[in-house]
Each structure stands twice: as structure tokens, then as C-alpha cells.
């Protein structure tokens, strides 16, 4: 996974950012970080993020989960500095960013997902 996904991802992030293209948070006007405290269940931030997305979508906004940043701000001195700078109180096992913005496209119908474990009669 590291060789096939994480490394190429960083390559794509850094190359594009040098060219002025931000593929980390897409220059979204609002980014919210959902994370846990030492007392929360790891699922808690994910549940909260999902509700925030539904709330925003119901207001006509667009949302996008960003999973690539959370792992990078958990350990090490740079991660701690980042957390301090942004008032993030804890490192946490699970966490996710959600981007919010004005949607560039309008959907006419929902996407049909192919969840492996969903069986239709
Ligand atoms: C948990 C999770 C993490 C994600 N992380 C990223 C990410 O770091 N960067 C990214 O460009 N898209 C990420 N995505 C994909 C987008 O949030 C979004 O799901 C994708 O663009 C497909 O859009 P759709 O769900 O409306 O079809 C993530 C999706 C999920 C569910």
C-alpha cells in the first residue's frame, strides 16, 4: 500500500502544489477537522463528520471527505506544531477532514454504488 498508494500520492500532491494546483484541500473555502479525544470511541469523529456533510448538503453546499491529512498530523514534532497552531487539542486514532464549498456541478441523479456486501433480491 505504501509503494502503490502513499508514495505516488505524495508525489502527486507535491508536484501539483509546486505548479499552483492544490490537490490536498482543493483551496476549499472551508475545511473542518473531526477528531477524537482520549475518551471518545474511534467512530465518533467519523459519525460527526458524516452528519456535518448531510447538514451542509441540505443547505445546498458541496462536501468532500479528505482522509489524507489526518495520518500526517498525528506523530512527530512537525505534526505537534501543526496541531498547536490550529488549536487541535489531541492526537487521535481516527479523524477526518471535510471540505465544504459551493458545488460546481448539479447532479440529476444519484450514483449507483457497487458495495460488495449489498445483495439485491
Ligand atoms: C473516508 C474518505 C476519505 C477520502 N479522502 C480523500 C482525500 O484525501 N483526497 C481526495 O481527493 N478524495 C478523498 N476522498 C474521496 C472524496 O471525498 C469523494 O468521496 C470522491 O471524490 C467521490 O465523490 P462522490 O462520493 O461524491 O462520488 C475520500 C473519501 C472518503 C469516503
Read off the pLDDT of residues 104-118 as tens digits, 9 standing for 90 and up: 988 899 888 777 776
- Domains recognised in the chain with CATH numbers: 24-101 (3.40.109.10)
pLDDT of residue 121: 67
Q: Which of 54, 64, 69, 111 to mutate to test the pocket of ligand 1 (most atoms within 8 A of CB)?
A: 64
Residues near ligand 1 with C-beta < 6 Å? 64-68, 96, 111
Q: How far is the CA of 33 from the centre of ligand 1 (A)?
A: 14
Higher pLDDT, 2 or 81: 81
Mean local confidence (pLDDT), 61-89: 96
25, 64, 88 from 100: Cα distances, Å = 10, 7, 19
> CA 21 from chain center: how many Å?
18
Read off the pTM. Answer: 0.87
Query: How does DSSP classify residue 73?
Result: G
Predicted confidence at residue 118, as pLDDT, reads: 67
Amino acid at each position: 500500500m505504501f509503494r502503490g498508494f502513499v508514495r505516488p500520492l505524495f508525489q502527486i500532491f507535491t508536484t501539483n502544489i509546486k505548479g499552483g494546483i492544490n490537490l490536498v484541500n482543493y483551496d476549499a473555502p472551508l475545511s473542518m477537522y473531526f477528531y477524537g479525544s482520549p475518551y471518545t470511541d474511534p467512530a465518533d469523529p467519523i459519525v460527526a463528520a458524516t452528519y456535518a456533510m448531510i447538514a451542509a448538503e441540505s443547505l445546498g453546499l458541496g462536501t468532500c471527505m479528505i482522509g489524507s491529512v489526518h495520518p500526517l498530523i498525528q506523530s512527530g514534532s512537525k505534526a505537534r506544531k501543526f496541531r498547536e497552531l490550529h488549536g487541535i487539542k489531541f492526537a487521535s486514532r481516527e479523524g477526518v477532514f471535510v471540505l465544504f464549498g459551493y458545488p460546481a456541478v448539479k447532479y440529476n441523479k444519484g450514483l449507483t454504488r457497487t458495495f460488495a456486501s449489498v445483495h439485491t433480491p
